Amino acid sequence: MKLLRQVRRFLALPSKPVGDAPFRRQTEAWREAWAIVRAYYLIHLLFAAQALSWIDRVRGSAPLLLWPVGWMSLAGIETSAIAVHIFAIAAALFAALWPHVRVLRALSWLGFFEMLALRSSFGYVSHGWHAWLWVGLCFVFLPNRDPVEIESRRCHRQSVLIVVWLAQALLLLFYSLTGGWKLVGAAVQAAQGESHSFSPDALAIQIARSLLMQGSTSTFGAFFIEHQLLGWPFYLLAIYIELFAFVVAFRPAIQRFWGICLSVFHIFIFLTFHLDFLSQFVLVALLFFRSPFAPQHWNWRDMLRAVPLFGAIRRRRGSAMA
Amino acid sequence: MQAYRRLKILAAVVLCGYAVAAVAVKAAFRHEREVFPLFSWSLYSTAPREEADYGLRIMEVGGGALNPPLFVEDAKTFFPYVKQAQLIASVQFLGRALDSGNTEAVKRYRHLLERHHLRGRGAVHYEIVRRRYNTLARWSSGEIKSVSTVATLSTDEAAP
């Protein structure tokens, strides 16, 4: 626990007193967190219903079944696929109705896990849904209690907040991993004298690769391929936003702002790369636009202090001047 | 121990465990990048100007020859419902399996490609090729520096 505290203090900023009513703030925060959980399961139901169309792709097909759906080869793929989808949508429906019941949350996760495993059994794992799946797994660990009971006890409210924070941190970790691999890839490519993620034409190359692979076009893809220098700052900014995302889990002052940045980032990806990360976009909005840990009012000074890297420079300058 | 203290430890274990697993997945499975449901999150990590990959070039669909032959990315009119990312990934796996002489993997990926991605249009006569190209030049002019055939294959589907 001591080590965890030290890590948290290293990544977070020196904390300010919460005010004269910390427990009232905790109650408000838990209500916001619970609203996120309820919304997650309603949207989950929508996604599960949409996924029914995946059944058609399985008909008469020959998937390379991944381990979670390996049993389908014994029971018949088409019949099993229909059964899994019906199970998943029924479990999602019950979880949307009673999100406080742990067994329903677990079953809805299991249904989606099976559905996603089947969908990923065609030579390529559908990683656009990974974050949704992992956040669902985190939510299984929410207290198995009625909301009235949760609200009545501080330790239950705290449990809800920790689980929602874990979901946020895990999602942000995924972005940081993506940014980190870009850094590693750039270092390797630069050492070999090749173009890399920090080259002025990196964004143009990535957009062209994506569009060539899909055999498609995008709204602004051609523009950024032809005007490489205009896209360069956007790409550097995108790497920065990805790389330092995990730190934001420990800095509530900028959680909403980072959520907005990540949403804009996904819109930009769609308009240029023609890649749609719908579930991830929804998750970002859900977990960060009304983050239960964010201050209730925007405070630009606190936000600037909390911005990774640049905030530290600003803080150091401030203390040097003092 | 209070439940929320246990949850704090769980949170730390999940976050550290996932980060370690992501690195391990990337290191151990260079091409696959994922062991479901773990993913390395290595997306667009490199930006090579020169690309070398495998391509699927369609020569004939349902008895009709294509002149000139089309790479599958450009043949969406024949296979409009195909998920391109899945198809391209399968082509890369098949190409690597053919090059390494892994007959078991060739059988599996060919089966997937032909029974899932290339179905519904009758017999498809196609080639798996090795390609080298400059990404930006191919995007602007379609230029591919070199193409060499790895294998010529056909699906056995009857005409629709």
Single-letter amino acid, residue B107:
K
Whether B68 contacts chain A with CB within 8 A = no
Mean pLDDT on B65-74: 90
Go through chain B and tell me how many residues it has. 160
Q: Which of A293, A217, A213, A312 is nearest to A251 (CA)?
A: A293
Average model confidence (pLDDT) for chain B? 89
CA angle (A223, A226, A229) in 5-degree steps: 95
- In a 13 Å sphere around the CA of B33, the CA atoms on its Cβ side amount to 17
pLDDT for B13 beyond 90: yes
Which of A185, A314, A221 is closest to B48 using CA atoms? Answer: A185
Give the per-residue pLDDT at B117. Answer: 85
pLDDT, tens digit, for every residue of B24-36? 988 887 666 678 8
Compute how many other C-beta atoms are within 10 angstroms of the C-beta atom of residue B81: 9
pLDDT on residue B157: 66
CB of B159 within 8 Å of any CB in chain A?
Answer: no
Dihedral sign (CA A221, A225, A227, A233): positive
> In a 3-state reduction of DSSP, which class is residue A11?
helix
Give the bridge partners for B134, in sequence order.
B50
Substitution target from A125, A156, A234 for chain B, most B beta carbons within 10 A: A125
- Is residue B90 less than 8 Å (CB to CB) from chain A? yes
Report which DSSP code applies to A285. I
One-character DSSP codes across B90-157: HHHHHHHHHHHT-HHHHHHHHHHIIIIISTTSS-EEEEEEEEEEEHHHHHHH---SEEEEEEEEE--P
CB-CB neighbors (< 8 A) of B135 in chain A: 205, 208-209, 212
Q: Domain extents for chain B?
A: 1-45, 50-154
Burial of residue A124, with CB atoms counted within 10 A of its CB: 0-12 exposed, 13-18 middle, 19 or more buried: buried
pTM above 0.95, yes or no: no
Cβ B37–A67 below 8 Å, yes or no?
no
Q: How far is B7 from chain A (nearest CA, A)?
A: 7
A33 CB-contact burial (10 Å; exposed 0-12 / middle 13-18 / buried 19+) = buried
Least Cα separation, residue A322 to chain B (angstroms): 37
Which pLDDT tens digit goes with each residue over A37-93?
A: 999 999 999 999 998 887 877 777 778 899 999 999 898 888 999 999 999 999 999
**Which long-range contacts (C-beta less than 8 Å, at least 24 apart) are formed by A111-114?**
A111/A48, A111/A84, A111/A87, A112/A44, A112/A47, A112/A48, A112/A88, A112/A136, A113/A68, A113/B37, A114/A68, A114/A69, A114/A84, A114/A87, A114/A88
Which residue in chain B is spatially nearest to A164 when comparing CA positions?
A: B11
To test the contact with chain A by mutation, choose from B32, B46, B49, B77 the residue with the greatest count of A C-beta atoms within 10 A, namely: B46
Single-letter amino acid code for the residue at B81: Y
In whole angstroms, give the CA distance from residue A51 to residue A56.
10
> Which of A267, A191, A199 lies closest to A235, judged by CA?
A199
Out of B41, B109, B135, name the one closest to residue A209 (CB).
Answer: B135
pLDDT tens per residue, chain A (322 residues)? 677 777 777 777 766 655 657 778 889 999 999 999 999 999 999 999 998 887 877 777 778 899 999 999 898 888 999 999 999 999 999 999 999 999 999 999 999 999 999 988 887 787 889 999 999 999 999 999 999 999 999 999 999 999 999 999 999 999 999 999 999 999 999 999 998 999 999 999 999 999 998 888 999 999 999 999 999 999 999 999 999 999 999 999 999 999 999 999 999 999 999 998 899 999 999 999 999 999 988 888 888 989 998 877 777 776 666 6
How far is it, in rounded angstroms, from Cα B144 to Cα B134? Answer: 7
Distance from CA of A119 to the nearest CA of B (A): 10
Taking the CA of residue B142 and the nearest CA in chain A, the distance in Å comes to: 10
- B14 contacts on A by Cβ (under 8 Å): 138, 166, 170
B135/B49 Cα distance (integer angstroms): 6
Measured between CA atoms, the residue of chain A closest to residue B11 is: A166
Q: Does the ipTM surpass 0.85?
A: yes
Check CB contact under 8 Å for B136 and A225: yes
